[in-house]
Structure 1
Amino acid sequence: MEITTSRFGVLAVQPSDILTFDQGLIGLRACRRWVVLADGHNSALGWLQSIDEPESALGVVSPRRFVSDYQLRVARQDLAPLQLVHATDAQVVVIVSRHPEGLALNLRAPLVINVDGRKGRQVIAKDPLPVRLILPTDGEMRLTA
């Protein structure tokens, strides 16, 4: 399948590459099908590109790359729809957004992905983690697209 995106142009997407977020994401409930793209300039950064709304793409990173002791505690029922066999089968990423002081990581509402099952879900952490952890753009992180 091909999609025309506002950020990356025309992309060929294999059905096996599509992640399904049955409940969408906060603020993007209608966007249920996504694909993860590598950033050509920054190996720490990935892009979650919507299949349903090709103008929607979100920068994502592993939270542990910037917060080494990051731990996610969520209610068991929040992970049940992902059909994970083991918690270690999950990949956790957080959304990166622009902020006047740099870039911000949303540690409170990460995305949990069952890579093998191609399912994802945005969850709310039980712990009071920051919604905006500011990273300076003169370091490792820069949004390039």
Structure 2
Amino acid sequence: MELNTKNFGIIHYNEEDVIYFEEGIPGFEELHNFLIIGDEEENMPFKWLQSIDNPDIAFVVIDPRVFKPDYTFEIDEELKNFLAVEDVNHLLIFVIVVIPDKIEEMTANLKAPIIINAENNRGVQIILDNDKYLIKHPILEELKNAYSHA
């Protein structure tokens, strides 16, 4: 299949690559079908969550454990059932990154992780009910530290 995107031009993908968000993403509830775009060979932590329903929409995402290894939250039975999770080790966790003009002000939304069941490509964005994580968590210094120790 083929998709003409705003950021990447024409990309090719297979039906099995599509991640389905039954409820959409908060603020974008009408968008249900996405692709994860990233270059594994470049070893870049950032990926794109590209909408198939609206090719002009793509979110920069990152696994928060890249820069915050202690990032954890409870995955309750309701969420496991919603995503049809058989093994929590198959869950992918991402957070949306905002990269402003001043890159040193880059932030990640740790309060609302995106969880994807890699076994069936079902996804959801949840909002954590705690004060442990910020919506605008500065990440540049933590990323620098993570990669200087790698």
With normalisation by structure 2, the TM-score equals 0.84
Higher relative contact order (CA 8 A, sep 6+): 1
Two-structure CA RMSD over aligned residues (Å): 1.9
Distance 1:72 1:49 in 2: 25
Q: Could you say what secondary structure the match of 1:64 adopts? A: helix
C-alpha change, 1:126 and 1:76, in structure 2 (3 Å) is farther
Structure 2 CA distance for aligned equivalents of residues 54 and 122 of structure 1: 19
CA distance in 1, matches of 2:43, 2:69: 19
For 1:143, the equivalent position in structure 2 comes to none
1:125 Cα deviation from its structure 2 partner: 1.4
Residue 71 (str. 1) matches residue 72 (str. 2): yes
Report the count of equivalent residues: 139
| Correspondence for 1:123 | 126
SS at 2:106 equivalent: strand
Query: In the alignment, which residue of structure 1 is the partner of 2:60?
Result: 59
For structure 1, which runs of at least 5 residues remain unmatched after alignment? Answer: 141-145
Q: Hey, what's the Cα distance between the residues in 2 that align with 1:60 and 1:49? A: 10
- 1:24 paired with 2:28, answer no
What TM-score comes out, normalization by structure 1 length?
0.87
Residue segments in structure 2 that go unaligned for 5+ positions in a row: 145-150
SS of 1:83's partner is: coil
- Partner residue of 2:147? none
**Counterpart code for 1:18:** V
Contact 1:93/1:111, CA 8 A, preserved across alignment: yes
CA displacement 1:39-63 (0-9 Å, x = unmatched) = 5866101100000000000011111
Pick which of 27-36 and 127-136 moved more: 127-136
